A and B are shown apart, each in its own frame.
Chain A
């Protein structure tokens, strides 16, 4: 019985993730797609929890749901006339796109099935926040600093791109 519960939780979140992702990519209404993306991000955070990555699950909810999804919703609202019924987004090359992505899915599943994955002998359990913090401050301090500079540059670049031409 206690073996069944994780399986049920896994498949519920997998179904939620893939179903909402399908709405994101195939739905007709752009606002509906943006809100379906919310369910996808939350299911991914649930996967992180199941994989024992508690800090990453928190970061996923904060950054994706709190930041990126808000940005995307701003993008949807600012670039579409929300009160007209013009939100239906055009689609093209549906059949070739579906064929290509189905073929790549088949290749990926075959690779996953035939590869003999190495299994870890020891799995470190418990909270990960302290270990991630120590790794960031010792082993990965240079990528950490580069990422902070990159965030600053992205912020400045985004502000530069959307400024009015008269402000020059």
Chain B
């Protein structure tokens, strides 16, 4: 049996990698991938707590909602990336200020 702490440490490492990707990338699609990594690390934590701390499926239901919201977020974010690309011919987040107003 793997203890709870191992899962939490691996999820923390995944979260930190996602944060690093968010901070160091200029490409909007790449930042989106880093956000998905962060979602996944949060979900690992939820499922691990549901397995070890409460012992029921409450955390899994929560993780299921996180997956559904992540799907919405990916669809809307890629639509924004598409309109950014149509206007600026690029997906650099430095040019994203043209989308306002």
Contacts and interface: CB of A to CB of B under 8 A. Distances in A.
A80 B91 CA distance: 8
B29 to A, nearest CB: 5
Contacts of A162: 79, 82-83
Contact of A101 (B20, B68, B71): B20
Interface residues of A, number: 84
Interface in B5-41: 5-10, 12-21, 23-30, 32-34, 36-37, 40
B70 interface: yes
B37 A21 contact: yes
B62 to A, nearest CB: 9
Contacts of A75: 29, 32, 78, 81-82
A121 B36 CA distance: 33
A56 B5 contact: no
A108 B5 contact: no
B27 A90 contact: yes
A72 to B, nearest CB: 6
Contacts of B68: 63, 147, 150-151
Given A100-B19, A135-B58, A53 B47 contact: yes
A93 B69 CA distance: 30
A79 B72 contact: no
B78 A71 contact: yes
Contacts of A82: none
B27 to A, nearest CB: 4
A122 B64 contact: no
28 contacts: A21-B37, A24-B37, A25-B18, A25-B20, A25-B24, A25-B34, A26-B21, A30-B27, A40-B14, A40-B40, A47-B44, A56-B67, A64-B36, A72-B74, A75-B29, A79-B91, A89-B30, A109-B9, A113-B5, A117-B5, A118-B53, A120-B51, A131-B56, A143-B65, A150-B68, A151-B72, A157-B79, A158-B78
Interface of A: 6-7, 10, 14, 17-18, 21-22, 24-26, 30, 33-34, 37, 40-41, 44, 47-48, 50-53, 55-56, 59-60, 63-64, 67-68, 71-72, 74-76, 78-80, 89-94, 96-98, 100-102, 104-105, 108-109, 112-113, 117-124, 128, 131-132, 135-136, 140, 143, 147, 150-151, 153-155, 157-159, 161-162
Given A71-B74, A105-B16, 14 more contacts: A25-B21, A33-B30, A37-B33, A37-B36, A37-B37, A40-B14, A79-B85, A90-B26, A91-B24, A93-B23, A101-B23, A151-B72, A161-B83, A162-B82
